[in-house]
């Protein structure tokens, strides 16, 4: 039997690829995003198993509306995926107040509002799965011009972990997961605040296709766990970084 799943930020990129794969697998979806035309293209590709609810997830009232519409359309929600995100191309010393506010609103508050909207429903049912989409950059500073984005995603990591700890003893049927993609082949850089970086981003691992990331998230839905790197090589890079931060940042391989 298909699960009832909500995906925010579902009009492009990882969200759209995930929606298409879940729809093909027979799940029932409510998809949300700000841009109606793009969102309707995705729901049209999926067919009757997906419904669109347009909304800006940086506004709490819009998130509540998406939750209410999902419950009306689906009856209940099994999985809620906070996928909204936006990057920035600005080093630390050039950040403005508006830059930081935008990064927090899009990458933290949208997910916080989603958590606060849906988890009471999960508590009432005694089960559910919350998935927050973060970034490898929240762990390792290999793209310093993404400074405020990385910091916002690091805050999302902390909120996710603390919520998981809060629920672990009292509501063991509720799973809280964090997904950490690396570089993904999307228009993320073009949509970033400040535009794409000069010269592009060079990472130790190649960019993943959105479909590959989506398959990792679907595997997580089937078998929940606390954290999942969509590219397994990234986990090893994070381990090397935290094993010896100074050596890693100095370009030396930690011993």
Distance CA 203, CA 135 (A): 14
Distance CA 100, CA 155 (A): 12
Mean pLDDT of 29-34: 97
Q: Which residue has the tokens 């630390």?
A: 92
CA distances from 201 to 192, 237, 253 (A): 13, 16, 20
- Burial pattern 28-59, b for ≥16 Cβ within 10 A else e, equals bbbbbbbeeeebeebbeebeebbbbbbbbbbe
Architecture per CATH, 4-249 = 3-Layer(aba) Sandwich (3.40)
Q: What global pTM score does this model have?
A: 0.94
Q: Which residue has the tokens 């029932």?
A: 28
pLDDT digits (tens, 9 = 90+) for 143-167: 999 999 999 999 999 999 999 999 9
Q: Which residue has the tokens 């090893």?
A: 236
Contact (Cβ atoms closer than 8 angstroms) between residue 72 and residue 47: no
Kindly state the percentage of the chain with pLDDT values over 90: 83
Domain map (residue ranges) of the chain = 4-249
Distance CA 168, CA 172 (A): 5
Give the model's confidence band at 255: pLDDT under 50 very low, under 70 low, under 90 confident, else very high: very low
Cα-Cα-Cα-Cα dihedral sign, residues 62, 178, 52, 73: negative
Pairing of strands 50-54, 79-82: unpaired
Give the lowest-confidence range in 5-9, 103-107, 181-185, 204-208.
204-208
Residue 199 has pLDDT above 90, yes or no: no
Taking the alpha carbons at both ends of the chain, their separation in whole angstroms is: 49
Residue 46 has pLDDT above 50, yes or no: yes
Q: Kindly list the catalytic residues.
A: 149
Residue 67 has pLDDT above 90, yes or no: yes
What SS3 state is found at 24? helix
User: In the prediction, which pLDDT does 198 show?
Assistant: 76
Burial of 1 (0-12, 13-18, 19+ CB in 10 A): exposed
User: In the prediction, which pLDDT does 254 show?
Assistant: 43
User: In the prediction, which pLDDT does 166 show?
Assistant: 97
Contact (Cβ atoms closer than 8 angstroms) between residue 11 and residue 84: no
């Amino acid at each position: 039997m298909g699960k009832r799943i909500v995906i925010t930020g579902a009009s492009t990129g990882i969200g759209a690829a995930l929606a298409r794969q879940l729809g093909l697998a027979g799940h029932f979806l409510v998809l949300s995003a700000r841009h109606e035309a793009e969102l309707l293209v995705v729901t049209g590709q999926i067919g009757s198993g997906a419904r669109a609810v347009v909304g800006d997830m940086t506004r709490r009232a819009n998130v509540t509306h998406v939750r209410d519409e999902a419950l009306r359309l689906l009856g209940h929600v099994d999985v809620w995926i906070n996928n909204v995100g936006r990057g920035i191309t600005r080093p630390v010393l050039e950040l403005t107040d508006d830059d930081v506010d935008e990064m927090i609103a899009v990458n933290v508050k949208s997910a916080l509002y989603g958590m606060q909207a849906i988890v009471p429903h999960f508590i009432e049912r005694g089960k559910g799965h919350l998935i927050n989409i973060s970034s490898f950059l929240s762990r390792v500073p290999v793209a310093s011009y993404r400074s405020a984005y990385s910091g916002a995603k690091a805050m999302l990591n902390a909120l996710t972990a603390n919520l998981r700890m809060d629920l672990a003893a009292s509501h063991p049927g509720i799973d809280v997961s964090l997904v950490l993609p690396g570089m993904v082949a999307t228009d993320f850089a073009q949509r970033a605040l400040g535009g794409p970086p000069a010269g592009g981003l060079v990472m130790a691992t190649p960019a993943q296709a959105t479909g590959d990331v989506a398959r990792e998230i679907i595997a997580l839905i089937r078998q929940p766990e606390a954290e999942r790197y969509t590219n397994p090589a990234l986990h090893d890079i994070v381990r090397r970084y935290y094993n010896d931060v100074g050596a890693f940042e100095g370009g030396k391989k930690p011993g």
